Copies of this chain bind each other. A is one copy, B any other.
């Protein structure tokens, strides 16, 4: 337990400097109410003795740990990694430390972590949860500390999101403008706002263009390795007449590529493909993948900025949702008919 921190305290400094601990504390906190001379003397001793302030003690009296918890479902996901980078950037500039809580999509672990953060007296929480609405624990936490959500929505909680419906709409609309009529949608089978929004966008684009929605063209499955591949297989068995595929994300689009290549179908000559997320993958694929991009780092920045604001403000303000724009990034995977 005791990891042996045989450390110098302000008392030691005070003794050696022949001042009171208050004075040392004042020096440490840059209070103006210290004479230049005393300050110099104390600073010198602090330096000499290698004093390191104890944030635990500080946090205890200040009732603030200068720390926030970051709850993420999968740190391995490059989308998250970019957002996290944005968050980290902002927070480190405020001197706020970040607890990394990787839930691995496990609800129990998410609950465990939220509780842990509460115990560690985190000043706030940023949550990305791919699965939706585990209300209970979050509900408890949000009455205690500010929470900002990214790409998920909880009642009464601030949220940073992207215009996902519009992103999907733009993609599908672009396909339609290119002359495609039989457009499939490969997606995941979860009850999550992001997933729902993209589907809405897909359907709306079709409807707005007078194209009937064909349920056969919507393939939804659970997360699985390589599932884009299998979905494409299923799709082509059901509906070989499609000319374009809109994939929920670039990862799925990759599976589409792999299956089509295997089958000797060419992209975009035989089938056009659009992905979502503008991951590194999109530029790497051959042909390069047309996709929908989000400002990932900015999402992180916004989330962090908003959280800091909430921590500094008093509580009970109206929660807001900040929607960041998506952009259709046209590359080489779509053919004009």
Contact = CB atoms under 8 A, between A and B. Distances in A.
Contacts of A67: 99, 120
Contact of A99 (B82, B99, B145): B99
Contact of A121 (B55, B95, B118): B55
Nearest to A59: B56
Contacts of A144: 5, 7, 52
Contacts of A4: 63, 314-315
Contact of A56 (B50, B52, B60): B60
Nearest to A112: B92
B284 A53 contact: no
Secondary structure dominating the interface of A = mixed
Contacts of A78: 76, 78, 81
B2 A64 contact: yes
A55 B88 contact: no
A254 interface: yes
Contact of A75 (B81, B121, B286, B311): B81
A85 to B, nearest CB: 6
Nearest to A69: B97
A119 B81 CA distance: 26
Given A3-B124, A63-B3, A65-B56, A76 B70 contact: no
B88 A81 contact: no
Contact of A261 (B95, B112, B286): B286
Given A100-B100, A254-B284, A315-B4, A54 B60 contact: yes
B62 A1 contact: yes
A221 interface: no
Integer count of this chain's copies in the complex: 2
Given A3-B123, A81-B81, A88 B102 contact: yes
A31 interface: no
A116 interface: yes
A104 to B, nearest CB: 8
A159 interface: no
Scoring A59, A109, A140 by chain B CB atoms within 10 A of each residue's CB, the highest score goes to A59
A84 interface: yes
Interface string A102-136: 10100001001101101111011000000000000
A33 interface: no
Contacts of A99: 67, 97-100
Contact of A54 (B5, B75, B121, B286): B121
A56 to B, nearest CB: 4
B84 A145 contact: no
A311 B85 contact: no
Interface of A: 1-5, 7, 50, 52-57, 59-60, 62-65, 67, 70, 75-76, 78, 81-82, 84-85, 88-89, 92, 95, 97-102, 104, 109, 112-113, 115-116, 118-121, 123-124, 140, 144-146, 254, 261, 281, 284-286, 311, 314-315
16 contacts: A1-B64, A2-B64, A54-B119, A54-B121, A55-B120, A56-B59, A56-B60, A56-B121, A70-B100, A78-B78, A92-B112, A92-B113, A97-B116, A98-B100, A281-B284, A286-B286
